[in-house]
Amino acid sequence: MVRWDVREHISLVWFVLRWLVMVTPVAMLIGSSVAFFLWLLAEATQGRLAHPDLVYLLPFAGVAIVMIYHHYGDTASAGNNLVMEQINHPFVWWFSRARGNGCTDGWQYCSGVCRAI
């Protein structure tokens, strides 16, 4: 015979409500970040379509990115070991990766889409 315990159900409801309160701000932040990224992507696409000659600047952008990594990316040559070394400083590591990846991903996106046209 199964017993129905009111205290256990109240405890479960309280547990779910606590998690909902904790997860909601994170979900809002992530959702807003994704919406912002998609808006930026749409703006970049519109800019690329408005200026189709930008594809000819991609080699220069590649050289510029290589030069930036050569002069300022001393730790980038460490590869996966860099991740293991800087795991104790996640914000510094994330900021430096996001800054560099944002630059290179933007050019890669443009070149990939331009090749598809």
The pLDDT tens digits of the residues spanning 41-80 come to 999 999 989 999 988 999 999 999 888 888 887 766 667 6
Residue 5, pLDDT above cutoff 70: yes
- For the entire predicted model, the pTM comes to 0.51
DSSP 31-51: HHHHHHHHHHHHHHHHHHHH-
Q: Are 55 and 114 in contact (CB under 8 A)?
A: yes
Q: Residue 61 in contact with residue 103, Cβ under 8 Å? A: no
In angstroms, the CA 50 to CA 58 distance is 16
What is the pLDDT at residue 73? 74
Domain boundaries, the chain: 1-50, 52-117
- Predicted confidence (pLDDT) per residue in 70-117, tens digit: 888 776 666 767 666 666 666 665 666 555 555 555 555 555 544 444
Contact 62, 107 (CB under 8 A): yes
